[in-house]
Structure formats: structure tokens, C-alpha cells
Structure 1
Amino acid sequence: MTRPTIFHAALLSLCLCGSLLAQTEPSAANASAEPVTEIAPAGQPLPLAVPAAPPLSVDEVLAVPEELRQLVNKKVVQLARHPTARLEKLVEFMFSPTGLGLTYDDTTRTVAQTFADRKGNCLSFTLLFLEMARSTGLTADMQESEKVLLSFSDTDTLVYTGHVSASIKINGRRQEIQFDPNNPILRGSVDIITKARSVAHYYNNRGAELMVAGHLDEADAHFAQAIELDPRMVQAHSNRGVLHMRLKDPYAAEYHFKAALAIDPKRISVLSNLVSLYRSQGRSQEEALTAERLADVEEGDPYHHFVHGLQLESRGEFEPALEHYRAAAKLDRKQPLYQLGMARAYEGLGREDMARHHAERAQALSRRKSSTSFAIQMMRGGRQ
């Protein structure tokens, strides 16, 4: 029986194509000296060969080359008059060999760079798609969910992170367009975000890429640009804190982590980073208080319990896994995956009656929550 590997990426923003620098879920118990970097796309390696460069302007990030405008007009607008048909043509144009033939890699690019290189990560694809969609007259926005459990399509890996996708509004109804090559199996609330925040994700991603490549001044300039566009972008504030930890400037790091927590007091990744910072400085009282605060937040987070349940189950520790699944189900009684986790744990404990009960409960909930039916089938697939 194959069980998934679980990683935690402190919130991203877009699709998941970036990376993570901490490969365990941050917690009060295991907050490590390695801080968690927050980007949009996580779980895959950040590109290392990133040349140092100052931030581009917003207009440069979103500029649509004239050649691309003409191609979109010829291959999309002239061939499809109805908005729904136009949307289908546009997606086909992006990936078909007779269109752009885009391929995936890990680097965050501008709209023009993605067009020129014919490749990019899911944030790059989403930005490109949104600008092309708007040029055809479609109402297009970026949408964001800050809590996503992602299944990588080519491995047994799960990543707990944030997520972004495109949203198209046609006749008053919205349709989601995903450019993530992986499968979101759990997702929290989804919100339409401003164009400024959409571009802020670009600067935050580029900052993370530059930081990993060692270009710290340029990285800081990108994080600053992200914050200027959206002062409430928690992940950019947090990443500046991580950057200053690398610069051995703990007081600046603390300032940026606290700025992030002023916006979102319950952000697990930021609290974990702050615990690590206090620990590295020997500030034991502040470490203990922040760790206690982190533990309280984790206790009320069903995703946290679910991810820990999966980790414990993967090691054959079914009793503690069951406790975490049970806690998740108590916090969210409508999520079938938590019931399925309980079923698997009970089966591991030899409690077939209880396993059957919770499997039936998961099945009943999945009928009401069709968006997770694939997730249930995916997780059952490892039990052959």
C-alpha cells in the first residue's frame, strides 16, 4: 500500500509551481532553524540560475506584445464570437502545437517572456492567460485560496500551501481555469483578488527566486515592490523576514514577521518562523509565548490536523493519526476526506466495523461535495 509524502509550503498565492524551503509542516513542536519561504507555487524546486536584476515596472510585467495580440485576434477572436467558445479557443491556443504550444517549467516570467520562451510556471501562465482574455473582451480575474492540499500528478506527494487560478465571468457566472499541473484535493475559501495583488504575486515569486539564487538586494527590492502594490500581502512581509534572517539581521526579521502577523495573526508559517528566530537568539521567554500561540492556532486548524494525520499514518502510527483525523472532522464535519482518513486509521487498527462506518460517511458526504470526489478516489487508489 502506497502512502503519500506530505510537504508544507507556507502560503503561496497562485497555482503551485514554485517551491518550498521547509519540507515539513511548521509547528510549535518542530519549528526549525530553516525559515519557511512563501511563494505562489510550491512543492517543486525554485530555479537556481536566476540572474540578478532590479524589479521591472508593472507595465513591463503585464505588457502584451503586438505579435501576440495579432495571433490572439486571428486564432481566437475571429474564430469564436460567443464568450464560451472564445474561452475554449483561448485555452486551446495556449497549449496546442498550432498555437503557442506552451510547456511548463519552474521559472516565473512576465507575459512577454512567457510568450517569447513558450514556457513558464503556472503563475506565468495565469498572468498570460488573464491579459489575453481581457484583450478578447472577456471579464477575467485572478482568484486566490490561502489553504490548499495539493497532490502532485507524477508522485505520491502532497503539499499544503496556497493556490491561485484564473476566473472568467460569462453571463453572470464564473468559471475557474486552472494552470496547475497538480491536483488540488482540499481547498479553503476562494476570493477574487485585485489586479494589483495579482502582479504583487509576480514580484513575491521573483523575490523568492532571487533570494534562493543569492541575489539578496534584488530579492528585497522585489518583496518591497510586492508590498507597495498590496500592503496586506502577508507572504511578502514574511519573505522579507526570511531574507533578513539570512542577512543576520534578526531585529529587521522580527519587524517583518510582526508586520505579517498584524495582517494575519493566525498564519502558521509566520508564527513558526518567529519561533525559529527567537530560538536562534536564545530569547526563550518570547520563543515559549510564540510557540504557545502557534500551538493554539494549530489546534483550531483542520488542515493542520489532517496533514499530521497523513504523516502519522504513512509511518504506520494509526492511533495518533486517528486522533488528528478525528480533530479535523470535529472542526469541519462536512469534509469527506477527514472521514476517509478515520476509516483508513481504523482499518490499520483492525477495527473493520468503524472503518466501514466512516467510509460510508465519507461516501455520503462526497455526494454532497462533488468537488472532492476525485480526491477520495485518488486517496483510495493507494490502497490496491
Structure 2
Amino acid sequence: MKRFAVLLSFSLSLSLLSGCTSMQPPAAPPLFADARFAPPREKVGADDLFTLSPAMRAYLHSQPFTLQLRQQGQRHGLVAALYSKSDLKLEYESSKTRTAAETYADRSGNCLSLVIMTAAFAKELGMPVRYRSVDVDDTWSRTAGLYLASAHVNISLGNRVESGVRSSDQDAMLLVDFIPQKEAARLRARELDEEDIVALYLNNRAAEMLVQDRIDDAYWWARAAVEKRPGMIRALNTLGVIYEKHGDMQLAEQTYRAALEREPENMAVMRNLQPVLATLGKRDEAAALARRIASIEPFPPYHHFDKGMIALRAGKYDTARELFELEVKRAPYNDEFRFWLGVSHLQLGDLTHAREQIAKAVDTSTRQEMRQVYSAKLAHLRRVGAVGTHIR
């Protein structure tokens, strides 16, 4: 199967942090091919990304919300109100990147959506906000033949700036991040402009259209992302994947090369470019790039997992377990790896570890439908309680 690596931005503990220097990427060359794609089936853009809905405004003026702000202060009160388990009851769900209003209405969203909604409320309350991209290893998932790499984005909130009052450093920014406080403090980060957040939203929507095989719609979303931030590697890579899936190999090559000019060691882009070069007859260059990729990352995402699935189907359960354990070690929050590690334990008659791993799959899954699947399997295991049960 052809591997398409698409780079996404998801990701929101509380800690005090100062910002980092913003870095504006250089512009990319013109890479658009509008005439090759049908018009989009929906509105493409981010004009209403941070717009508060009437329901959100009503919530801002509700008695419970205003009481929370009075008791805890604006910043802590806002975070407590938005992310408490007893009030909005927001649920993490990664299948779609939502606007602020959509996240509030659905009571769910991925981390980028939650950052956007938090920013919308904070700005309405007069708080300065800062966005940051955090240097953590990309989290890989696989959907509809696409390998999706999710990066980490968070938001920090300043105190409301009163008229005529000056603050030296905005009294330190309150960071809202899903990473635990001690870990977040150790990680390097760079500050993002709001335009970067908008471009990341547009790029995510393009990737989500790709997952649904809506290539024409994906093009217009990716085009908007590149237009918003011409030098953004993630957007250029997504546009290259779209051209490749559309059969426009020369445009795909040009777009991947434009991305590599800005980040020569980007593994996702290199992996996408290599088969395009082979398809275009540039076999020596493709072979050289393949050797370079192998020297940097000999075992790509899902390498051990795919071998583990082959072993599992062949009844080699010990081998399968060992291979799944290798993937879990390097990607502990991948629910798919956890689930199938649990299955291998089950086939070996180890019901205790099977339950443990499938429970972790439930906890780490970012998609509601998969949490339901894993939960059903886990409930079945807890009912059965018998050695040797097979999951089918």
C-alpha cells in the first residue's frame, strides 16, 4: 500500500510560562492548479473560526460562569469553567477540527479545536492570548490509507489589560496544556501567531477531507492553508499529497521539493517524495532518497505493527506480542497498538494483561467510535473472565 504521510496539528494541566520567539517561514513559490479541481462543496475558510455563537455569549453572562470568575479570577475561572467535568463536560474527539462555536455546540473537539474555543472566550473577556507549538515527537495514526502525524499546540492566557494600566510581562502567562505541568516546563516551544493557528486549522480540514476521499474539497482547504502561510511545511506537504492522489505527479514533486527547501530533514515529506520520483522515472534519485530515509529512520511508523498483524494472523502470538510491544514503547498513546497488544495477550491466555491493554486503548483513543468499540470488547472480557477467549 502506498504510504501518504499527512501532518496535522492537534493538541491542551496548568502552569506559568513565558512565550518564545515567533519565527515566520519564508514564502513558497506559486504551486496552485485551480483549474484541475472541481469547486468545493462547502464554504472554505476561517472567517468565523473565533466567532462566539449566541449560546456562547449567553454562557459568558450566566450566573454560574460569572461566579466562577469572581471566585477564582478570570484566567483560572475561565479554565475551570470550560474544562470541569461537571459543567460543559467537553469530550476529546479528533475526527474533525472544529470552529470555536462548533466545539462549544458539540461539547467535543481535538486539541486545536479546544485551543481555538479557549482563545475565543478569552479574547471576548479581554485577555491577551499566546499560542505555542511544542517540540514533542509527532503522534502517528493511520486512517483510510493515510498516515497522520499530530503535532502539539497549546495556548497561554494573560491577565486582562485594564485601560491605563501597564504590565511588564503580563504577570506571566497561564499555560493551558494537556501535558502535565512538570513535563510541559521542560519542553522547548516557539510562539505562533494567530495566523499560524488559522493555517493549521485549514490544513487539518484539508487532511480530514482526504480521509473522506474528497480530493477536490481537500485541495481548496490546503490551498487556503498555503495561501495563509506560504512557507508552512505541513500545508505544503498536504497539498503535495493531494496532487499525488489526484495523479498530478509533477505538481506533487514541485510541492514536496518546496517543502524540503524549507526543512530538508522532514521525514514525512521525504517519504512522500520518494515514490513520486520513482513514478516519474527518476529512479536513481528515488533510490538515493530511499537510502537516505533508511539511514535516518530504518523503522517507519507502523513497521512493527504491520509485521505483528501478519504474525497474529499466522497464529504466532508470542511474536505478535513482541512486535506490538515495540510499537507501544515508541508510541504509548496509540490506541490501535494498545488494543492489538491486548488481543495478543488474550490469544496467549493472559486475560489480566489483555484487559489492561484494552482499557488503555479506551483511555488513549481520540475517536468516539473507536472508544465505543474498545469499551464493548473490554466489557465482554470483564463478563467472560475465562482464559482462551478469542476477540473476533
TM-score, scaled to structure 1? 0.59
Query: What amino acid is aligned across from residue 133 of structure 1 in structure 2?
Result: A
Partner of 1:253: 252
Cα distance in 2, alignment partners of residues 306 and 217 from structure 1 = 28
Cα distance in 2, alignment partners of residues 185 and 216 from structure 1 = 37
Distance apart, 1:38 and its partner CA:
1.2
Matched, 1:80 2:69: yes
Partner of 1:344: none
SS of the residue corresponding to residue 62 of structure 1 reads coil
The answer to whether the 8 A contact 1:142-1:193 is kept is yes
Matched, 1:164 2:153: yes
Query: What amino acid is aligned across from residue 89 of structure 2 in structure 1?
Result: G
Matched, 1:37 2:25: no
Partner of 2:365: none
Matched, 1:288 2:277: no
Residue from 60, 71, 75 that aligns with 2:48: 60
Distance apart, 1:101 and its partner CA:
2.5
The answer to whether the 8 A contact 1:150-1:185 is kept is no
The answer to whether the 8 A contact 2:70-2:77 is kept is no
Where does 1:1-384 land on structure 2 (aligned, <5 Å)? 33-41=2-10, 53-74=41-62, 75-77=64-66, 79-80=68-69, 85-96=73-84, 99-106=87-94, 107-148=96-137, 161-170=150-159, 171-179=170-178, 189-294=188-293
The answer to whether the 8 A contact 1:148-1:184 is kept is no
SS of the residue corresponding to residue 80 of structure 1 reads helix
Partner of 2:359: none
The answer to whether the 8 A contact 1:208-1:239 is kept is yes
Partner of 2:336: none
Distance apart, 1:247 and its partner CA:
0.9
The answer to whether the 8 A contact 2:226-2:236 is kept is yes
Distance apart, 1:109 and its partner CA:
1.1
Cα distance in 2, alignment partners of residues 184 and 53 from structure 1 = 42
Any idea what the Cα deviations from partners look like across 1:242-288, whole Å, max 9, x if unmatched? 11111111111101101111221111110111112223444221112
CA-based RMSD: 3.9
Q: List alignment gaps of at least 5 residues for structure 2.
A: 12-39, 142-147, 160-169, 309-318, 331-392
The answer to whether the 8 A contact 1:148-1:187 is kept is no
Cα distance in 1, alignment partners of residues 2 and 171 from structure 2 = 48
Percent of aligned positions with the same letter in both sequences? 25
Cα distance in 2, alignment partners of residues 41 and 101 from structure 1 = 19
The answer to whether the 8 A contact 2:6-2:149 is kept is no
SS of the residue corresponding to residue 52 of structure 2 reads coil
Any idea what the Cα deviations from partners look like across 1:189-236, whole Å, max 9, x if unmatched? 311101011011111111111111121111110011111111121011
Any idea what the Cα deviations from partners look like across 1:12-70, whole Å, max 9, x if unmatched? xxxxxxxxxxxxxxxxxxxx73121111239xxxxxxxxx7434443222211233123
Cα distance in 1, alignment partners of residues 50 and 294 from structure 2 = 41
Cα distance in 2, alignment partners of residues 205 and 160 from structure 1 = 11
TM-score, scaled to structure 2? 0.58
Indicate how the Cα distance of structure 1 residues 316 and 95 shifts in structure 2: closer, same or farther if over 3 A, else same.
closer
Distance apart, 1:113 and its partner CA:
1.3
> How many residues align structurally?
267
SS of the residue corresponding to residue 36 of structure 1 reads strand
Distance apart, 1:289 and its partner CA:
2.9
The answer to whether the 8 A contact 2:103-2:113 is kept is yes
Further displaced range: 273-282 or 261-270: 273-282
Indicate how the Cα distance of structure 1 residues 160 and 187 shifts in structure 2: closer, same or farther if over 3 A, else same.
farther
Cα distance in 2, alignment partners of residues 173 and 116 from structure 1 = 31
Cα distance in 2, alignment partners of residues 280 and 111 from structure 1 = 42
Query: What amino acid is aligned across from residue 167 of structure 1 in structure 2?
Result: S
Indicate how the Cα distance of structure 1 residues 180 and 60 shifts in structure 2: closer, same or farther if over 3 A, else same.
farther
SS of the residue corresponding to residue 138 of structure 1 reads coil
Partner of 2:37: none
Partner of 1:373: none
The answer to whether the 8 A contact 2:140-2:301 is kept is no
Query: What amino acid is aligned across from residue 254 of structure 2 in structure 1?
Result: Y
Indicate how the Cα distance of structure 1 residues 238 and 57 shifts in structure 2: closer, same or farther if over 3 A, else same.
closer
Q: Which structure's CA Rg is the greater one? A: 2
The answer to whether the 8 A contact 1:145-1:191 is kept is yes
Cα distance in 2, alignment partners of residues 39 and 250 from structure 1 = 22
Cα distance in 1, alignment partners of residues 149 and 214 from structure 2 = 27
Query: What amino acid is aligned across from residue 56 of structure 2 in structure 1?
Result: L
Cα distance in 2, alignment partners of residues 119 and 71 from structure 1 = 16
